[in-house]
Every structure is written in C-alpha cells, then in structure tokens.
Amino acid sequence: MRQPTTERLPAPEPEAAALSEALVAEIAQALDAAGGWLGFDRYMERALYAPGLGYYSAGLAKFGAAGDFVTAPELGGLFARTLARQIASILDALGGGEILEFGAGSGALAAALLGELTRRDALPERYAILELSADLRARQHAAIAAAVPPAVLERVVWLERWPEASVRGVVLANEVLDAMPVRAFSLAGGQVWEDGVALGEAGLGWSRREADASFAARVLDRLSGPIADYPEGYRGELNERLLPWFEGLAGALAQGVALLVDYGGVADEVYRTTRAGGTLRAYYRHRLLEEPFWWPGLCDLTADVDFSAVASAAEAAGLRVAGFAPQSQMLLTGGLEGVFAEAFAAAPDELARVRLTQEVKRLTLPGEMGERFWALALSRDYAGILPGFAARDFRYRLSGD
C-alpha cells in the first residue's frame, strides 16, 4: 500500500484495512476494464462512495475529533443557531414551508437547527435529509433523536434522491460541493494534460495522458490567463458534475432559497498562478497526506469549490444567485452576535464561556473559517430579505469583474 512521505501515520484497524484492500481490488478491476487508466473523478467517486467500501459508505468515524475533519456544526451550536435565525426569517416570508438538507454528515447541523427552530416556534412543516449513505442516515437519526422531542423527530424524513414533490422553503448544503468527484489536470510543455490513476508496482498512483480537446478547452476557460503565465507542472482540478447537480436542485425547489456553505473561492483564486499544487487534498485522522492513494476508502478526499463555476451552473439550471459572502459576514450579519450573547449568558461556567469564545474565533477569523469559507444564496420566486447577505454584496466577484 502506498505510504505518505510526510510523516508516519497510525495504522488502520484490521477491519478498516480489510475494507480498503477490498476497495483497491475493486478499483483494480475497473482499471483493467478501462485499459489500465482511470480519470481521477472516477477514482475519487469509488474512494468516497463505493457501496459498503467508500469513505462515506463504510461506517467508519469521519466527523469530529475521532474522524478526519471537523465541520462548523461540530464546533458547537453557534453556527446552527445563527443559521436557524436566517431560515426562520425565510420561512416566515414564505408563510411556512420545509427544509431539505443535502448530505447531513453527522446530523449535528440538523439536530441543532431543529432545536433552535423549536425554541423560536419556527419549525418547518418537514425536515427532509437527502443522504445516500445508510450508515450516515442511522447516525443522523440517533443525533437528532437525542436532541429533540419525539414530536419534532416525527417531522424528519430521509430521502435517497431528490424529492418527487418540489420543495417550498429552504435547501441547505453545508460542505457538500467540496466532496464532489473532480477531474485532475496539469500544465506542461505548453499544453493541458489529464492526470488520472494507474496501478503500478508501488500500488495506485498518478498517471497522466494528453487531455482531449474538449477537456483541454474547459480547463483553459477556467484559468486566469494563458498557459505561459503558469509554472511548468502546475496542477488543478475541474468539477464537471455541477450542472447536473444544480439541475436536480432546480427541479426540487419550487419556491424559496438554497444556502450553500463551503470552502473555496472565485475562479481567479482557485486557479491563481501561484497555487501550483492545486487544491486537491487527502486527510487521514486530521493529518494532511501528500497523495490521495493511501489506504483508499479510509481517507477523505476534497477539493476547493470554484464558486464562479457554481454560480454559472446554478444560473444555467434556472436559479437566481441572490447573495455571496464570506462565512464571517454571513454569520455576523445574520445574528451571530445575539446568538453568542445568549449562549454566553447561559453558560454554566468559565470553561464553557471560553469554549464559546474560541468557537466564534474559529467561525469568523480570516485565518480560520471566516474567509476561507463562503456562503452562496440561490433563490427561486423569492423576494424576501436574506439577513446574512444584507451588509455587503460580493456577487460581483463571481464574474471576475
């Protein structure tokens, strides 16, 4: 199995190692059927989502201190409680409605949102969670059941595909787009190459081939300048699955607002010339790996979100880009100060107050999540106020103007 060169990592438990080895065997079969080479998006899809074997499908710890990463909801309740204020405002403007969360992770966000909306007497008619992983559905159910009364839990339903009946209300996607499979590319010799996966003596590893004309054209369209402006060997990623996803979202949202929060930036930031190594990352137990092939299925794979491409895909699908702001602004303008004051006053001791202060810093400071994460609001047939996006409009940055 390919080892990282940065540091010695803790060995997986035998059961986890066996799952990874089974996944590698499956990938090897796919490579053989494809002539020995797979695009990275096809590898990433299997590594994350292969039934029973992929990272999000195999039932292993993923979130929090015991997993590989921590999302904003796992830091505490401030993120969700602030978001709940904004959701309550949208649902009130709509005269009621439901919430659809795409990929609810550990269930922490849903549990905290429902708790706060219950406290504010602003519960949705239904809280639907679109989750493909059976393991995560079970974990989400347990987390929500532990946080809300049975009567509230009864409003929660799980879906495995976009709802057949369109939603009127709010759609949430927190750290979802970064986990979409991406195609990888490199720039060398004045041309575009596609970086894929092959199986060699050392195991799975990178293998590149000349990009076909269509893919090369799409890569060149994302770059901020000509290839000559980029260093030799520059690497990057391209998400070609955005339009189908937003077509699904547009088909599911009859009226209301979709709120997307993720890390990334506009195209000029994601593909800037100084970012020669690209944004693709692999994590194992909170450790950053140099390559994405160490114990496939046990490591999280992720890439920064190109919000310019996201906005274009959303508009092409028929949605309106209604707001774009760094996470810090979305939270502070959306009521974080009041939520923090309430939580601070109710904190049982000094340690709890210190943790709340640390949580605010993690969520809002530029060097933490504050400007590393961005929030995008999409709307359909909605003319109400979006509290988190009222202070300053950053939509102009999406087009690079």
Residue pair 245/180 in contact (Cβ under 8 Å)? The answer is yes
Which pLDDT belongs to residue 287?
A: 87
Q: How far apart, in whole angstroms, are the C-alpha atoms of residue 246 and residue 229?
A: 32
* Domain range enclosing 324: 72-179+242-268+305-399
Per-residue pLDDT tens for 153-199?
A: 999 999 999 998 899 999 999 999 999 999 999 999 999 999 999 99
**pTM summary value:** 0.92
Q: Does residue 396 surpass a pLDDT of 90?
A: yes
Which pLDDT belongs to residue 64?
A: 45
pLDDT band at 10 (very low <50, low <70, confident <90, very high): confident
Which of 29-38, 63-72, 326-335, 381-390 has the weakest average pLDDT? 63-72
Mean pLDDT for the stretch of residues 62-89? 75
Give the CATH number of the domain where residue 90 resides: 3.40.50.12710
Per-residue pLDDT tens for 252-295?
A: 999 999 999 999 999 999 999 999 999 999 998 878 888 899 99
Q: How far apart, in whole angstroms, are the C-alpha atoms of residue 396 and residue 134?
A: 40
pLDDT band at 12 (very low <50, low <70, confident <90, very high): confident
Q: Could you tell me if residue 40 is inside a domain?
A: no
**Mean per-residue pLDDT over the chain, rounded:** 91
Matching residue, tokens 């210190």: 354
**331: Cβ contacts below 8 Å, ≥ 6 apart:** 78, 79, 82, 363, 364, 388
Q: Could you tell me if residue 110 is inside a domain?
A: yes
The total domain count for the chain is: 1
HSE-CB for 289 with a 13 A CA cutoff: 23
Q: Could you tell me if residue 113 is inside a domain?
A: yes
**CA of residue 68 relative to chain centroid, distance:** 14
Per-residue pLDDT tens for 93-112?
A: 999 999 999 988 889 999 99
